Amino acid sequence: MTAPQNPGGTPPQPPAKPAKPRSMSAKTVVIVILVLLLLTFIFVNTQSVDITFWITTVKAPLWIVLAISILVGVAVGFILGRMRYKPPKQ
């Protein structure tokens, strides 16, 4: 007597299909292009600048100032985008 080909009684599975390559959406392409442009703009501007706060003045590389400004802008946009308008109850 020969051993069963498929123990457990489960039917054999067909071979897996190869994964189709995914295409990027237009939104993803635009975001990638904007990020590359921002990074290029940041790293081209390497000179030091004076930043005046209310009382003090600080000297810092412009690329750091730009990077911090962009990060703060993204954070504020994210937070405001997550807020939903709730109409007042009457």
Q: What is the DSSP string of the chain?
A: -PPPSSGGGPPPPPPPPPPPPPPPPHHHHHHHHHHHHHHHHHHH--SEEEEE-SS-EEEEEHHHHHHHHHHHHHHHHHHHHH----PPP-
Read off the pLDDT of residues 25-61 as tens digits, 9 standing for 90 and up. 888 899 899 999 988 988 888 899 998 988 999 999 9
Whether the pLDDT of residue 22 is over 60: the answer is yes
Read off the pLDDT of residues 63-78 as tens digits, 9 standing for 90 and up. 888 889 989 998 998 8
Question: What pTM does this model have?
Answer: 0.56
> Closest by alpha carbon to 45, among 72, 76, 69?
69
